[in-house]
C-alpha cells in the first residue's frame, strides 16, 4: 500500500511538469499579452515593464526561471495585472475563501445527497422515492447561474434576510447563499448515484443472507450495504471535492466572494501569465492528491481491492 502511494506520488511529479510546460506554451500561444491595452504603451515604457517581469528573455529561459522559482522557493512570481500583489498573495487571499465555501458545500452536498439517495433506494417506488428523485432532478436542471440571482432576489431584495454578497471575513450570513448555489447540483448527482448504487447492492446475495438471518433493516443498511454503496459515490466525490474547493467563477461573480475562481477567469482574460500558472498548478496538484486519496480510501473500504 505504502509503495503504491509512493509510486503514485512519483508519477505525479512528471505529470505536474507536463502540465506546467503545456500551460506555459498554450498561454503564450494565445494572442495578446499582459500589457496590451486599447492604448498601446509607448515602446520604451513597454520595454521597462517587460524587463521588470523578465518577459524580454527567451521563451525557454522564462520557463526554466519560472519552474526553478516554483520548485526552489515556492515563489510563483508577481501578478502582472495586480501590481500591488504577488501570485502567492493572490492565492493566500482567494484560496481560503474558496476552500471555506467549497468545504461547506461539500458537507451539505454529501449529507443531503447521500441521505436522499439512501432513503429513495430503501423506499423504492414510494412517495419518498419520487420526492427524492424529483428534488434531485430539479436541482440538476436548475443551473447555478440561474439559481444565484434567484436566491439574491428572494433572500436579499424581497425578504432582506441575507446580505447580497461579499465575504466579510467569512461570517456565516455571507456563506449561506454561496453554499446553497454551489452544492445543489453536486447534491443531485450524489443522490442519484447513491440511489442506483444502493438499489444494486440491496439486490445482492449477501444482503439477502443478512436479511434472511433476521438482522434488523437498520443494521443491514448501515453495517452491510453502506460500504459497497459508497464505492461509486467515492469515485465521484474526489473530483467533485476538488471542483468545489478550487472555485466556481459563478459563485464569485454572483456573490462577490473574492474567491480563486474569479481570479482564475480574470487572469485568463487579462493574460496575467503568472496568476494563470499559479492557479493551474494549485488545481493540478489538488486534483492529483485527491484522486490518490480516493484510491487509498477505495482499498480501505473494499478489502477486495489491493494495489
Partner 1 sequence: MTLKKRLLATTAAVLVATAGAVFADAHATHPVTGEALASDQTFTYRVGDESPSIDPGLVEDVDGAAVVRDLFEGLYNQDAAGNLVPGVALSHAVSDDGLIYTFTLRDNAMWSNGDTVTAGDFVYAWQRAASPALASPYSWYIELMSIENGAAVIAGDMEPSTLGVTAIDDTTLEVRLSQPLPYFPQMLTHGTTFPVHQATVEEFGNDWVLPENMVSNGAYVLTEFVPQERLVRERNPMYWDNDNTIIERVVKLVVPDENVALTRYLAGELDMTDVPAGQFPRLSAQYPDQAVSVPEACSYYYMFNLRDGASPEIQDPNVRKALSLAIDRDIIVNNVLAGGQKAAYTFTHWATAGFETPDIPMATMTQADRNAMAVELLTEAGYGSDNPLSIDLVYNTNDSHRSVAIAISQMWKQTLGVDTTLANQEWQTFLEARSNGDFEVARGGWCADYNEASTFLDLMQSESGYNDSRYVNAEVDALLAEAKTSANPQANYDRVEEFIAQDTPIIPIYHYAAVDMFAENLEGWPYENFEQTWYSKDLYKIAE
Query: What is the contact surface with partner 1 in residues (CB under 8 A)?
Result: 30-33, 35-42, 44-45, 48-49, 51-52, 78, 81-86, 89-90, 93-94, 97, 148-149, 152-153, 156-157, 160, 163-168, 252-258, 262-263, 266, 269-271
Question: By C-beta, is 182 or 210 nearer to partner 1?
Answer: 182
54: left (phi over 0), alpha (psi -120 to 50) or beta: left
Question: By C-beta, is 37 or 124 nearer to partner 1?
Answer: 37
C-alpha cell at 298: 477505495
Question: By C-beta, is 144 or 262 nearer to partner 1?
Answer: 262
Residue 169 gets which letter from DSSP?
Answer: G
10 Å CB burial of residue 10 (0-12, 13-18, 19+) is exposed
CB of 247 to partner 1, least distance (A): 12
Question: By C-beta, is 169 or 303 nearer to partner 1?
Answer: 169
CB of 246 to partner 1, least distance (A): 16
Question: By C-beta, is 94 or 228 nearer to partner 1?
Answer: 94
271: left (phi over 0), alpha (psi -120 to 50) or beta: left
For residue 91, give every residue at least 6 positions away whose Cβ sits within 8 Å of its Cβ, in sequence order, or none: 76, 260, 278, 279, 282
- Are 33 and 80 spatial neighbours (Cβ–Cβ below 8 Å)? no
CB of 130 to partner 1, least distance (A): 35
Residue 137 gets which letter from DSSP?
Answer: H
CB of 30 to partner 1, least distance (A): 7
Q: For residues 155 and 173, what is the distance between their CA atoms, to the nearest angstrom? A: 11
CB of 55 to partner 1, least distance (A): 11
Amino acid at each position: 500500500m505504502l509503495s503504491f502511494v509512493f509510486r503514485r506520488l512519483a508519477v505525479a511529479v512528471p505529470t505536474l511538469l507536463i502540465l506546467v510546460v503545456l500551460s506555459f506554451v498554450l498561454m503564450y500561444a494565445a494572442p495578446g499579452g499582459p500589457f496590451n491595452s486599447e492604448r498601446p504603451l509607448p515602446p520604451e515604457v513597454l520595454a521597462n515593464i517587460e524587463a521588470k517581469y523578465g518577459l524580454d528573455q527567451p521563451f525557454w529561459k522564462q520557463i526554466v526561471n519560472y519552474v526553478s522559482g516554483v520548485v526552489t522557493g515556492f515563489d510563483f512570481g508577481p501578478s502582472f495585472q495586480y501590481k500591488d500583489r504577488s501570485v502567492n498573495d493572490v492565492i493566500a487571499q482567494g484560496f481560503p475563501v474558496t476552500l471555506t465555501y467549497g468545504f461547506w458545500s461539500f458537507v451539505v452536498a454529501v449529507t443531503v445527497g447521500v441521505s436522499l439517495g439512501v432513503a429513495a433506494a430503501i423506499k423504492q417506488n414510494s412517495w419518498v422515492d419520487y420526492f427524492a428523485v424529483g428534488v434531485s432532478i430539479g436541482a440538476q436542471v436548475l443551473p447555478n447561474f440561474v439559481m444565484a440571482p434567484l436566491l439574491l432576489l428572494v433572500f436579499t431584495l424581497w425578504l432582506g434576510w441575507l446580505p447580497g454578497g461579499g465575504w466579510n471575513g467569512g461570517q456565516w450570513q455571507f456563506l449561506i447563499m454561496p453554499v446553497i448555489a454551489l452544492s445543489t447540483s453536486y447534491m443531485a448527482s450524489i443522490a442519484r448515484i447513491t440511489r442506483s448504487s444502493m438499489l444494486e447492492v440491496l439486490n445482492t446475495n449477501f444482503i439477502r443472507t443478512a436479511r434472511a438471518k433476521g438482522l434488523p433493516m437498520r443494521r443491514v443498511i448501515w453495517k452491510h450495504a453502506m460500504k459497497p454503496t459508497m464505492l461509486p459515490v467515492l469515485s465521484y466525490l474526489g473530483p467533485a471535492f476538488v471542483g468545489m474547493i478550487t472555485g466556481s467563477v459563478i459563485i464569485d461573480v454572483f456573490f462577490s466572494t473574492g474567491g480563486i475562481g474569479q481570479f482564475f477567469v480574470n487572469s485568463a482574460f487579462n493574460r496575467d501569465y503568472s496568476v494563470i500558472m499559479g492557479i493551474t498548478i494549485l488545481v493540478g496538484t489538488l486534483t492529483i492528491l485527491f484522486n490518490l486519496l480516493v484510491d487509498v480510501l477505495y482499498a480501505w473500504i473494499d478489502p477486495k481491492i489491493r494495489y
